Amino acid sequence: MRTRWTLVLGIVLASVLVGSVHAQQRVFLSIATGGTAGVYFPLGAALAELWTGKVPNMQATAQTSGAAVANIRTLERADVSVAFVQNDIAYYAFYGTEMFMDRIGNKPQPLAQLRGMAMLYPETIQVVTLRSKGINSISDLKGKRIAVGAPGSGTEVNARQILRAFELGYYNTRPDFLNFAEAADQLKDGVLDAAFITAGFPTAAVQDIASARDLKILPISRDVVDQLRATYPYYTSVTIPPNVYRGQTETVDTAAVMAMLVTRQDLGEDLVYALTATLWDNLGRLQAAHARGRDITTASARRGMPITMHAGALRYYRERGIK
């Protein structure tokens, strides 16, 4: 009897130990995305679902945020492990320039831990107004009330740089620092004259505006994009085709940057390898999450990567012959 109880106790203890090992191996991973009305959040939610379901012992969650700059700060504090950002903002952070400068000492403050995982899709800069406002060019925004993005967001940086290309700035416009959903509400109500929205199209916030009002997207010509690129090499020209939004019947030339995924150098190489592999081996889930998912392909997974890549992601790309 004593031997039998000893055996039972041993089995119970072994089960507890195995359970403890599994519990210890559980990885909780947060993904910094953006506002719920943008593109980062639905793609991040789909990615969290994929990683939770496909990567062993993984529990991934997507969290809303103030987007690119805020995401990098959150990543720097190790509050998240992966973040959606724009490639221009990633470059500034990696080299410690622009908004990542030490303004008091006028010295770069590079984020040495920042590493690239994947290039995703073009982030289109959509400068949206209402046809009833009679605004036909970004030059017409002088003295106007405009939403320039949430504080610390990549959209806000784009707005400043593009306004400057049209000899405008915060000194001769009336900027409001609003997220996409707030900008959409205030533009629909006629409180705003225009809003900068940097996101893959169609963007939920712009669709929201189009569902209620007759909108117009202001063009940014290829010549202006070339001018921007001379100082900021991350910009590219893109065309928004007609009928992306209700009532938008014309083709619109504008500018774009690239969305990308970044992580921290100290995240394990095998883990980042597994995350990268799961992303690219299950693109159908991202394509179902948002129309911009169709623009995410392995052909551009490394193209234009502005910072050093994480060793785990690089190993995956080399194994698959992705250049």
Q: For residue 320, what are its two tokens?
A: 């698959």
Domain 25-121+260-320: CATH class, spelled out:
alpha beta
Q: Please give the Cα distance from 156 to 169 (Å, whole number).
A: 12
What topology does CATH give the domain 123-258?
D-Maltodextrin-Binding Protein; domain 2 (3.40.190)
Count of C-beta atoms within a 10 Å radius of residue 204 = 18
Per-residue pLDDT of the chain (323 residues; tens, 9 = 90+): 544 544 444 444 444 444 443 445 788 999 999 888 788 999 999 999 999 999 999 999 999 987 788 899 999 999 999 999 989 999 999 999 888 988 787 888 899 899 999 999 988 999 999 999 999 999 999 999 999 998 877 888 899 999 999 999 999 999 999 999 999 999 999 999 999 999 888 898 999 999 999 999 999 999 999 999 888 888 889 999 999 999 999 999 999 999 999 999 999 999 999 999 999 999 999 999 998 899 999 988 998 788 999 999 999 999 999 98
Q: Please give the Cα distance from 316 to 274 (Å, whole number).
A: 9
pLDDT for residue 38: 80
φ, ψ dihedrals at 120, nearest 5°: -115, -75
φ, ψ dihedrals at 288, nearest 5°: -75, -25
Q: Is beta strand 101-102 parallel, antiparallel or unpaired with respect to 107-108?
A: antiparallel
Residue 236 makes CB contacts below 8 A (sequence gap 6+) with 122, 225, 229, 255, 256, 257, 258
pLDDT for residue 104: 80
Q: Is the whole model's pTM more than 0.85, yes or no? A: no
pLDDT for residue 117: 98
pLDDT for residue 17: 40
The domains spanning 25-121+260-320 and 123-258 adopt the same CATH topology: yes
* CB-side neighbour CA atoms (13 Å) of 241: 2
pLDDT for residue 21: 39
pLDDT for residue 11: 44
DSSP letter string, 101-137? EETTTTEE---TTEEEEEEEEEEEEEEEEEGGGT--S
Which sequence spans correspond to the domains of the chain? 25-121+260-320, 123-258
Q: Please give the Cα distance from 174 to 193 (Å, whole number).
A: 10
Q: Please give the Cα distance from 90 to 257 (Å, whole number).
A: 11
